[in-house]
Chains A and B, each alone.
Chain A
Amino acid sequence: MSSQPALIAKGLVKRFKTGRTHIEVLKAVDFEALHGEVTMVMGPSGSGKSTLVATLSGLLRPDAGEVSAMGEDIWSYKSGKIDRFRLDHCGFIFQGFNLFPALTALQQVEIILKYQGYGRSEARHKAATALTEVGLETRMGSRPSEMSGGEKQRVAIARAIAKDPQLLFADEPTSALDGENGQVVIKLLQRAAKSFGAAVVCVTHDVRLEAYADRIIHIDDGRILDDRRASPGPPLVDHSQPQPAFAGV
Chain B
Amino acid sequence: MSLALATLLYEWKRYSAAMAALAFSGLLVLAQVGMFTGIVHGITASIDRSRADLMILAPKNESLVNSGPNGLPERIQPQIYLNPQVVQVESLDGDGARWVNTPAPGKKAVITYVNTFDVDPTPNAVTLPTDYPESIRLALLEPYAVVLDKTAQNRLGTHLGAAASLNGKTVHVRGLLENYPNVDQPTVYMSRDTMRLLGMGPRNGKTGPLMVRLRDPTEAAAVRDQLNATAKGGYKAWTKPELAAANEKALMGEQIIGIFLAFSLFLGLLIGVGITSQTLRGAILASIKEFASLRALGVSMGSLAKIVLELSVWVGVAGLVATALFTFGVYLLASKFGLPMGFPIPWVVTVVILLAVISILSGLFSLGVLKKSQPADLLR
A interface residues with partner B (beta carbon < 8 Å): 50-51, 53-54, 57, 59-60, 80, 83-88, 90-92, 94-96, 98-103, 107, 111-112, 115-116, 143, 156, 159-160, 163, 171, 203
Contacts and interface: CB of A to CB of B under 8 A. Distances in A.
Contacts of A115: 294, 298-299, 303
Given A99-B290, A102-B6, A87 B379 contact: no
Contacts of B293: 92, 94, 98, 156
B379 A54 contact: yes
Interface stretch (B7-15, B93-101, B184-192): B7-15
Contacts of A90: 296-298
Given A86-B298, A87-B298, A96-B289, A60 B376 contact: yes
Contacts of B9: 102
Nearest to A61: B376
B292 interface: yes
B379 A101 contact: no
Given A83-B295, A96-B378, 19 more contacts: A54-B379, A59-B379, A60-B376, A83-B299, A83-B300, A86-B296, A86-B297, A92-B297, A94-B379, A95-B380, A100-B3, A101-B10, A101-B287, A102-B6, A103-B6, A111-B3, A115-B294, A143-B10, A203-B379
Contacts of A94: 293, 296, 378-379
B325 to A, nearest CB: 24
B300 to A, nearest CB: 5
A92 B296 contact: yes
Contact of A159 (B3, B292, B297, B379): B297
Interface in B263-318: 287, 289-290, 292-301, 303
A114 to B, nearest CB: 10
A142 to B, nearest CB: 13
Contacts of A171: 378-379
Contacts of A86: 296-298
A145 B11 CA distance: 12
B376 A101 contact: no
B50 to A, nearest CB: 56
Of all A-B residue pairs in the complex, the 10 with the closest CB atoms, nearest first, are A87-B298, A102-B10, A86-B298, A98-B293, A50-B379, A60-B376, A102-B7, A102-B6, A92-B296, A59-B376
Interface in B351-380: 375-376, 378-380
A138 B137 CA distance: 74
Kindly state the interface size class of chain B when it binds its partner: 20 to 34
A101 B8 CA distance: 11
Contact of B299 (A100, A101, A112): A112
Interface of B: 1, 3, 6-7, 9-11, 287, 289-290, 292-301, 303, 375-376, 378-380
Contacts of A159: 297
A46 B292 CA distance: 22
A166 B138 CA distance: 92
Contacts of B7: 100-102
Given A92-B375, A94-B293, A171-B379, A87 B6 contact: no
A83 B289 contact: no
A76 B117 CA distance: 85
A107 B6 contact: yes
A135 B298 CA distance: 25
Contact of B296 (A59, A80, A99, A111): A59
A83 B297 CA distance: 8
A51 B287 CA distance: 23
B5 to A, nearest CB: 9
A82 B5 CA distance: 29
27 contacts: A54-B379, A60-B376, A83-B300, A84-B298, A84-B300, A85-B298, A86-B296, A86-B297, A87-B299, A90-B296, A90-B297, A90-B298, A91-B297, A92-B378, A94-B296, A94-B378, A95-B380, A100-B3, A100-B7, A100-B290, A101-B7, A107-B6, A112-B294, A112-B299, A115-B298, A159-B297, A203-B379
Given A86-B297, A92-B297, A115-B298, A101 B11 contact: yes
Contacts of A57: 296
Contacts of A92: 293, 296-297, 375, 378
Among A51, A96, A116, max chain B CB count under 10 A is at A96
Contacts of A143: 10
A87 B298 CA distance: 4
Contacts of B303: 115
Contacts of A103: 3, 6
A202 to B, nearest CB: 12
A228 to B, nearest CB: 24
